[in-house]
């Protein structure tokens, strides 16, 4: 009998976007269609290297720009992640990783903390990569962590090619997630002793 995969599905419909997203924290199909080619590529990298299954369809107001599509996809992904991982209890909780992409090198440090905070250090030489605005790369991670209840520090340590720098960043984040989501014998999420973090108020 095939193993049942636990997944979370989020539907987000606004005047700016219509998003259907399904996330599972196990390897499986990855099907991404946002209308923003390089963004699709980055979400594929994130899901594949984190070991996730991810299906996303986004129909957004790309005649305006890519901002709403990127932001709302991040919100939906964050909400799906929070549903699957309401706390770091029973998991490694912390994860960090470096990822190179040719001359580029990026670092990601993650805490499944219940506290939403994102810091990203790094620059790009162009205003866009394909049709993805480089300013929206940081905004993606900020919106994702805000809705997932994560603390995430991201650094582009070096690089010359914008594509390589962005891809190294998403891969580093993926590998940090893979590490943080590893199961641990001690089910407690913090030294406070809670079996799980209460995302409505308790912080660690």
Domain holding 170, by residue range, is 7-180
Do residues 47 and 170 lie in contact, with contact meaning Cβ atoms separated by under 8 Å? no
| Residue 194, domain member (yes or no) | no
| Residue 193, domain member (yes or no) | no
Q: What is the mean pLDDT of residues 149-173?
A: 98
Q: How far is CA 125 from CA 71, 128, 161, 164, in A?
A: 22, 9, 8, 12
pLDDT category of residue 198 using cuts at 50, 70 and 90: very low
| Residue 117, domain member (yes or no) | yes
| Residue 24, domain member (yes or no) | yes
Q: In this predicted model, what pLDDT tens digit does every residue of 50-97 receive, in sequence order?
A: 999 999 999 999 999 999 999 999 999 999 999 999 999 999 999 999
The mean pLDDT value of the chain amounts to 92
pLDDT category of residue 185 using cuts at 50, 70 and 90: confident
- Which CATH number covers residue 145? 3.30.230.40
What percent of the chain lies above the pLDDT cut of 70?
Answer: 88
Residues 124, 37: Cα–Cα separation, whole Å: 18
| Residue 186, domain member (yes or no) | no
If one counts the domains in the chain, the total is: 1
Residues 75, 63: Cα–Cα separation, whole Å: 21
């Amino acid at each position: 009998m095939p193993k049942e995969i636990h997944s979370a599905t989020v539907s987000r419909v606004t005047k700016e976007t219509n998003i259907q997203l399904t996330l599972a924290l196990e390897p499986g199909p990855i099907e991404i269609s946002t209308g923003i080619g390089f963004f699709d590529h980055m979400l594929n990298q994130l899901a594949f290297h984190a070991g996730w299954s991810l299906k996303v369809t986004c129909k957004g107001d790309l005649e305006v720009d890519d901002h709403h599509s990127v932001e709302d996809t991040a919100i939906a992904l964050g909400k799906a992640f929070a549903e699957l991982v309401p706390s770091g209890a029973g998991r490694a909780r912390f994860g960090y990783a470096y990822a190179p992409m040719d001359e580029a090198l990026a670092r990601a440090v993650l805490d499944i903390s219940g506290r939403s905070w994102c810091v990203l250090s790094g620059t790009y030489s162009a205003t866009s990569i394909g049709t993805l605005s480089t300013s929206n790369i940081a905004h993606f991670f900020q919106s994702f962590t805000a809705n997932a209840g994560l603390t995430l520090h991201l650094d582009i340590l070096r690089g010359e090619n914008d594509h390589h720098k962005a891809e190294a960043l998403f891969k580093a984040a993926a590998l940090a997630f893979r590490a943080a989501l590893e199961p641990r014998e001690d089910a407690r999420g913090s030294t406070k002793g809670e079996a799980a973090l209460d995302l409505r108020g308790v912080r660690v």
